[in-house]
Amino acid sequence: MFDLQQDLVAERRLILVTDLPAAIAAGDVVARYQPKVELATGRTAGFEALARWVHPDLGPISPAEFIELAQHSGSISALTDSILDQALTQAARWREAGHAVPVSVNMAPGVLADDDLSERVRAALERHGLPPDALILELTESMSLADDRRTRDNVLRLAAAGVMMSIDDFGTGYAALSYLQNLPVGEVKIDRTFVARMAEHPGDFVIVSGIARLLHSIGLRVVAEGVEDEATWNLLGDLGCYAAQGYLMSPALEPDEALAWLGASVWQPEGVAAG
């Protein structure tokens, strides 16, 4: 039986898979930068580079959609290298303006297994004249990440060179604790699933506070994702979290906007004077 909706979905997928490699090569998949803000001071702790793509015919494409397509079509390494290069370009620009803040770049499990990943990352840092601590690599949870030899070797080499490793979306998968046992992690980002509702749902608050206590007890810094209201900001501060990221502070910014953000005063919720 003919299914028009299914046919349209397949046609859209084919268009995107076909056009994505050329869009990456042309620089049409761009990085935008969402600030991470220190809870104790309101200062910018860094930025996360987020990929954005506006297709010429289909309009804005969800990152979840085109990143999944990149992973399954063989374009994920090229996409990662492009976002990494754009992010380090901006990190160098920030340092030239007197702002030595790091930029975070997401690493998909498939990319982490590339034999030459550590060499590519180190070469990119050298090309932009940046020290290793200008970059944070965010590792998404995966059942096999900590057990895959090539992935583990890449992570160990990059961490030994001074690049910080951050676990993204912590708490959404059962592999999380094995990461902390087997990989050199310096930062953990609690997933927005728990953070966004913690001010209204006691169960989510218990989960976030328990995760924060666990991570602090083993010397890791904690970043909360998906912060959208002042009540959540205040609760995270009370829990001693290091930084927050979300629409309360700022959406992802274009490069010039990110530089302007760094030049402004420290961020505080409305009605609270910056110290």
Domain ranges of the chain: 9-262
- Residues 250, 176, 73, 78: is their CA dihedral positive or negative? positive
Note the pLDDT tens digit of each residue in 70-98: 999 999 999 999 999 999 999 999 999 99
Q: How far apart are the first and last CA of the chain?
A: 66
Q: Which CATH architecture has domain 9-262?
A: Alpha-Beta Barrel (3.20)
114-118, 148-152, 157-161: least confidently modelled range: 148-152
137-151, 220-234, 244-258: least confidently modelled range: 137-151
- Calculate Rg over the CA atoms of the chain: 19
**In angstroms, rounded to a whole number, what is the distance separating the alpha carbons of residues 203 and 240?**
19
